[in-house]
Amino acid sequence: MRHQELLDAVVDGIQRVEDLARVLGISPSTVRRGLTELEQAGKVVRTHGGAVPSPSGGELSWTQKSQRNAPAKRRIAALAADLVEDGQVVLLDAGSTTTFIAERLASRSGLTVVTNGLGPMTALHDAEGIELIVIGGRVRRRRGSIVGDYARGVLDRISADIAFIGADGVVPGRGVNCPSPELAAVKELQMRSAREVVVVADSSKLHAGEHHHWAVLPGPHVLVTDDGISDEDARTFGADPSCRLRVVPTAGGPTTPASTD
């Protein structure tokens, strides 16, 4: 099978694994392998049961990001939500994983959630037990985020108990990778405004730096990722004295700190 034939079929709207296998006359397992390789090349975005074409221009939308590695992100979100204590003020960054965290918090009560993300805002819009504060500013629609001087002005005046920060990449000693300086500035303010910082990033984001901009981590923080983390990454992040690494399983089993022995 040529990858171009598979990509052409996905672009033409045939996006479920079973349908692709039938149309191309190949096995579903061959389709899945091909889609994985196309995703690694940046040509498609895997979804539950299939794939969709990657957007032109490089940056994925936040809705597309929510489909990529969704099982791992949901497990990460479940652990992250459990870190929130009753009565706390919670900062939620824009992003797909933070949207899953918001969905987990929606059934809670007595929390104040501050967000610059359209995803978390939507997830908590009807949550009667949550006091929801949406940071104002300019909306980046593809990113699902609110940025700019208004957003920074609000964050300068907020003190939160815990902040959950999304990432396009995380590199020890460098920080959190971002597609724009505006997003980096907002993330840094969110982290400086909270007593505890939790970076939520699935294992594909570790040591990734596809963009040119970085939000510098302010000091001690928790990194929650999934068990796809490589042994080398586990050792590297585990050896960072400012990072407390938490690894969640993607298919059952207990959640444990990563070993660095």
Tens digits of residue pLDDT in 38-83: 888 888 888 888 888 876 544 555 566 666 778 899 999 999 999 9
pLDDT band at 225 (very low <50, low <70, confident <90, very high): very high
Q: What is the pLDDT of residue 60?
A: 57
Q: Which helix (H) or strand (E) holds 51?
A: strand 50-53
In terms of domains, do 90 and 48 share one?
no
Higher pLDDT, 170 or 183: 170
The residue segments making up the domain with residue 124 are 70-257
Q: Strand pairing of 111-115 and 243-248?
A: unpaired
d(CA 101, CA 183): 19
Mean pLDDT of 239-245: 95
Q: HSE on the CB side for 5, CA within 13 Å?
A: 10
Q: What is the pLDDT of residue 259?
A: 41
In terms of domains, do 81 and 44 share one?
no
In terms of domains, do 241 and 194 share one?
yes
Identify whether 247 is part of a domain: yes
25: left (phi over 0), alpha (psi -120 to 50) or beta: left
**Residues above pLDDT 90, as percent of the chain:** 57
Contact between 210 and 169 under an 8 Å Cβ cutoff? The reply is: yes
In terms of domains, do 178 and 153 share one?
yes
In terms of domains, do 50 and 85 share one?
no
Identify whether 60 is part of a domain: no
Q: Per mean pLDDT, which range of 16-20, 68-72, 184-188 is the poorest?
A: 68-72
Higher pLDDT, 5 or 37: 37
In terms of domains, do 26 and 85 share one?
no
Q: Which of 171, 169, 200, 215 is nearest to 97 (CA)?
A: 200
Identify whether 63 is part of a domain: no
Identify whether 152 is part of a domain: yes
